[in-house]
Structure 1
Amino acid sequence: MKKLIFIIISLLILLIIIVLIKTFTYSFKKVSANTTSGWKMIKDDSAIQRLSGGLKIPTVSSRELGDFNYSTFDTIKEYIKNSYPLIYQNAEFAEVNTYGLVFRLKGSNPSLDPILFLSHTDVVPPGDAEVKDKTENIFRPDDQPLPAVSEVSEEWDFGPFSGAVANGRIYGRGSIDMKGMLFSLLESMNNVIKTKFIPQRDIYLAFGFDEEVGGQQGAVKIAEHFRNKNMQFDAVYDEGGLILEKGSVTGINSDIAVIGCAEKGFLSVKIKVKGLGGHSSMPPAESAIGKAAVIMQRLESGQMKPEVTPIINQFFTNVGGSMSFISRMAIANQWLLKPVLLSQLTKNNSTNALVRTTTALTMMKGSDAPNVLSPEVEFIVNFRLLPGNTVKDVKEHIANATKGFDVEIDEIDSVKEASAVSSSNTRAFQMIEAAIKEIHPTAIATPYLTVGATDAYKYQVVSKNIYRFMPIKINNAEKQSIHSTNEYLSIENYMKMIHYFEFIMRNYDK
């Protein structure tokens, strides 16, 4: 017996030694000790005013394309043309499906595949606060007034289409998502042209106009435009990840720049559950709504299995150096501690979305009266697919959850598989890292999984190197303002974003 206890204790000690060795020798990315502030911000008032003017144009996209107020999209086309005459004089310009805008700055070496930067002109509605019309004294560069805009006074510090510049910020719907990036790209190309710099490869800008409602008429048509020309891009850069301020991610003691090298897929289904209807005074043993509740419980409690995909494993390798010793130990010893690691990750909403296909019950409809049993209850469930899971896998998962019940299952909205994963071992990714060091030298740059949908997905037909990243550093409060009230972009972020894109344009082939 003593011999057995000795063997067990020896094995435990050996196991602890192995775990510690693996933790201390694991190749976590070194956290930069750089104390320099990087590129020093140079405030450009004229660039700020051009963005401000763009935010005053209420280019709101709605669910039904026919409901768009296209006059505002005509206005922003004209505004961009008048604001950046150098671009129109020196770059090729094309309209795709009337409101998609494509610019090409020719490079000196046509044998090189071009690079492509994306954005979109549309924004989400300003919210539910009371809206009143107000004519602003807004001027284009040619001093022609813009049309009236709307102002929301209750929940915004400044109107959502005021383009107000105050407190070191530029306020307005779309300032972050995504006119800030759109105008920074135009400013960057304008600066490149102004200095007579000629890149080696062509530089393209492509702006959709319906990204917020799926991009089917904007990005899809622009990608088809490129594919019909048999074009392939060396890199495609779009929105996605951000620079998350130190402390905004629990357990990570550094600024982290999360670069989306892939995005999750999307599937929404409507599940109709059938049962006995009638008067609530004589209810059946199992009502339709009760059956629906059982299915919903199965879906929520028996979700698809979590897993640490290669892209998330790379994320942990990069950021683990700034995490606690216990976290580093779990990451370095997944051969033993992966169940523990996954258990912790799935307890948090944000990290849970990184390691599994998520299940979200979003809508439900049953009886219209309190004393009536509906013979049919329907609910909607939305899945965001992890790379490696397929739509077919999710449908099988739904079939198992609804087994034994009389149901109808219908797909709604657009359905898409998870995107391909772009490599971080490319010139395109290295340029992102270099440009981040220019504006935020101490931030850890890392591949990441974008959990939301972007226009970038549509460009897989013309490139295998697609990266989703907006180079702005924000805190949790600013992140919450996206698609919500009081959206703003700091002037510092805007100036650094312009420099970031200009840096890539000038240095891609150096």
Structure 2
Amino acid sequence: MKKFLLIILGILVILAAVLLIKMYTYPFKKTPVETSDGWKLVKNDSAVMRLSGGIKIPTVSTGSLGEFNYAPFDQFKEYLKTSYPLVYQHTENNEINTHALVFRLKGSDPSLEPILFLSHIDVVPPGDADVKNKEQNIFRPNDKPLPPVSKVAEDWDFEPFSGNVANGRIYGRGAIDMKGMLFSLMESMNTMIKSKKMPKRDIYLAFGFDEEVGGQKGAMQIAEYFKKKGLQFDAVYDEGGLIMQKGNVAGVDSDVAAVGCAEKGFFSAKIKVKGLGGHSSMPPMESAIGKAAVIMQRLEDDQMKPSITPLIKEFFSNIGGSMPFTSRLALSNQWLLKPLLLSQLTKNNTTNALVRTTTALTMMKGSDGTNVLSPEVEFVVNFRLLPGNTLKEVREHIAKATEGFDVEVEDIDNTREASAVSPSDTKGFRLIEAGVREIYPGAIVTPYLTMAGTDAYKYQIVSKNIYRFMPIRINSSEQQSIHSTNEYISIENYLKMIHYFEYMMTNYDK
């Protein structure tokens, strides 16, 4: 027995040694050493006020396309023309489908594939209730009245379309999502033209107007326009990841610049479950709503299997070197510890979304009376597809969950597969790394999976190198303000973003 125990102990010692050797030799990306504070902020009040003026125009998209008010979009176009006359004079500029905008700054070498920067003009509604500060400062070009502004939630410090500049911030709906990026692109191109820093390759800007409601009339039409012209882009840049401030990525003691090299797919299904209706005084043993509950429980209990895709493996390899010992041990020894690693990742909402196609029950409808049994109950389940999973697999998953019940399944909303995964060994990605080091030298730059949908998805027909990233450094509360209350961008973030895009445009071929 003693000999047997010694053998077991020896095996455990060898295993521990193997695990440690693999951890210490694993190619985790080294955390950058901050040798400087990066680019020194240069005051630019005029740029700040141009963004402020753009936020004042309530370009809200909501509901079905064609139903929202287009007057502010017309006003916004005129505002850009008066704000950036040099850009309009020195570029080819076109309107696509009336409200989408495209700018082309010609480069010196037409043989090079162009690069494309995206943004969108529209914003989501501000919400409803009262504000802390009742002051209104709404932009009215040529004294034309705008539609009345909705009441907004109490958490707004200023009216959501005030564009108020206070406390080192620019407040308003769209400050981050995504007029801040739109105006920083216009500022960057304007500066290039002023300083006569002409690029080698053509630079395009493209601004959709309906991203928040699916992008069918904006980005999709622009992408088709580019395809008809025979354009292929060396790189496409859109919103997506952000620079998460130190301490906001659990277990990582550095800023993390998460660059979306792919985005999840989207599929919502309305499931109608049939049963016996009637009066609640004589209910059947199993009602339609009870059957629906069983199906919903199946969907939540038996979700699609998690996996660590190559993209997420690269993400963890890049940030893992800054993580605690136990995390590094598990990440570097997935040959043995992958089940344990996946078990831990799926316990957290954020990391669970990185490693699986998620299941979210979002809506439900039954009878309208407290004493009425509905003969049909419907609910909606939303899936966000991990690259590698397909719509066909999700539909099969639903079929398994509804087995044994009388149901109808209907696709709703903007169904789409997960995007292709863009490589990180390209010039386009390396320029992102260099650009981030310009403004935040100590940040870890890593490929990432974007959870939400973006306009970038539509541009797969004109490029294989699509990167979703906005170079602003924010904490979790600032991130939560996007599509929520009290949205703002700090002046520091805005000015650094302008410099970042100017750096990208002027250094792409250096």
Do 2:184 and 2:501's aligned partners in 1 also have CA atoms closer than 8 Å?
yes
Partner of 2:275: 275
Partner of 2:447: 447
Partner of 1:298: 298
Partner of 1:16: 16
Partner of 1:426: 426
Please report the RMSD computed on the Cα atoms of aligned residues, expressed in angstroms. 1.5
Letter in 1 for 2:452: G
Alignment of 1:100-499 (within 5 A): 100-130=100-130, 136=137, 138=139, 144-145=142-143, 147-148=145-146, 150=149, 152=151, 154-499=154-499
Deviation at 1:61, TM superposition (A): 0.1
Cα separation, partners in 2 of 1:146 and 1:37, compared to 1, 3 Å: farther
- Counterparts of 1:275 and 1:139, CA distance in 2: 56
Indicate the SS of the match to 1:243.
strand
Indicate the SS of the match to 2:66.
helix
Do 2:97 and 2:221's aligned partners in 1 also have CA atoms closer than 8 Å?
yes
Indicate the SS of the match to 1:503.
helix
Letter in 1 for 2:54: G
Cα separation, partners in 2 of 1:287 and 1:139, compared to 1, 3 Å: closer
- Counterparts of 1:92 and 1:135, CA distance in 2: 37
- Counterparts of 2:209 and 2:250, CA distance in 1: 35
Aligned length: 507
Indicate the SS of the match to 1:67.
coil
Deviation at 1:7, TM superposition (A): 2.3
Partner of 1:83: 83
Deviation at 1:197, TM superposition (A): 1.2
Partner of 1:49: 49
Deviation at 1:159, TM superposition (A): 0.5
Note the alpha carbon deviations across 1:245-285, whole angstroms, 9 max, x for none.
Answer: 01111111111000000000000000001111111111111
Task: Give aligned-pair identity as a percent.
Answer: 70
Deviation at 1:36, TM superposition (A): 1.4
Do 1:133 and 1:151's aligned partners in 2 also have CA atoms closer than 8 Å?
no
Note the alpha carbon deviations across 1:283-305, whole angstroms, 9 max, x for none.
Answer: 11111111100000000010000
Do 2:160 and 2:171's aligned partners in 1 also have CA atoms closer than 8 Å?
yes
Unaligned 5+ segments in structure 2 are none
Q: Larger deviation: 238-247 or 33-42? A: 33-42
Indicate the SS of the match to 2:75.
helix
Indicate the SS of the match to 2:207.
strand
Letter in 1 for 2:149: S
- Counterparts of 2:395 and 2:138, CA distance in 1: 54
Indicate the SS of the match to 1:125.
coil
Letter in 2 for 1:305: K
Deviation at 1:151, TM superposition (A): 6.8
Q: Larger deviation: 274-283 or 222-231? A: 274-283
TM-score (norm 1): 0.97
Unaligned 5+ segments in structure 1 are none
Do 1:151 and 1:161's aligned partners in 2 also have CA atoms closer than 8 Å?
no
Letter in 1 for 2:275: G
Note the alpha carbon deviations across 1:475-494, whole angstroms, 9 max, x for none.
Answer: 11101100001000000000
Cα separation, partners in 2 of 1:370 and 1:230, compared to 1, 3 Å: same
Letter in 2 for 1:454: T
- Counterparts of 1:297 and 1:65, CA distance in 2: 35
Note the alpha carbon deviations across 1:296-349, whole angstroms, 9 max, x for none.
Answer: 000001000001100110001000111000000000000000111111111111
After the TM superposition, which parts of structure 1 deviate over 6 Å for at least 4 consecutive aligned residues?
Answer: 131-135
Deviation at 1:369, TM superposition (A): 0.9
Indicate the SS of the match to 1:505.
helix
